[in-house]
Structure 1
Amino acid sequence: MTVTDEARQALERQQTVEITTIGRRSGRPRRIETWRYRADGRFWLTGSPGSRDWYANMLAHPEFTLHLHGLDLRVRGRAVTDPDERARVFGEIVPTLDWAGSLESWLAGSPLVEITLDS
């Protein structure tokens, strides 16, 4: 499906999302719940510091499905590894999370993926 205004509005409203990635070793779909963030005018997936299977799957297969209350969108993930971009994005996200801990720990150990929507 192409991205509609309805889909963009749903993504704006919904912070808890489900994604389906393709397993890097199994090749099978893997569906999980995670959080979507908005920073620098774009949409992101991340998590507290630590390794994530969904991130490893996305690195192997950047296309995945984003599930939004009845809408299934094919999207693409872009892993963010540039230190300046990571600092800018996490600098917006982490201070809004009272449970997050230090910005430094997120910079050092959290995955960061930009969600690219089809237009």
Structure 2
Amino acid sequence: MERDEDFRRNDREIDTHFSNDDGYLEETAAEIAEPYQASRDRVDRRERDQVGDDSGSKGIGYTALAIAIISLFVLPVLLGVAAIVVGYIARRKGAHALGAWSIGIGIVSVILGIFITPFF
């Protein structure tokens, strides 16, 4: 009990030493850094994706298409899934038509490999 009274007495003594006219006992600070603008970053990323990085997108697209066509004849499930993944990457890089064809042929190859080929 005596400790509680000592703490209360010390708190009162500390509070009385402050002489603020407005009555606030808070410390505030101003931010120095520039505020982050997410919308501008998103626009910059879209422009960079559309305009800039076309290096290798057609090469990846043709590679995906080659894997998809080969998957029709050899290891249809494994190479079909690989064609779908590489086709998706090609579409993200900018080779939309090649990527779409690779994904489509890869899906057909996987379906043929899983459902139709076991019956022959």
More RCO (CA 8 Å, sep 6+): 1
TM-score range, shorter chain: under 0.3
Give the TM-score normalised by the residue count of structure 1.
0.21
Larger radius of gyration: 2
* Larger helix proportion of the pair: 2
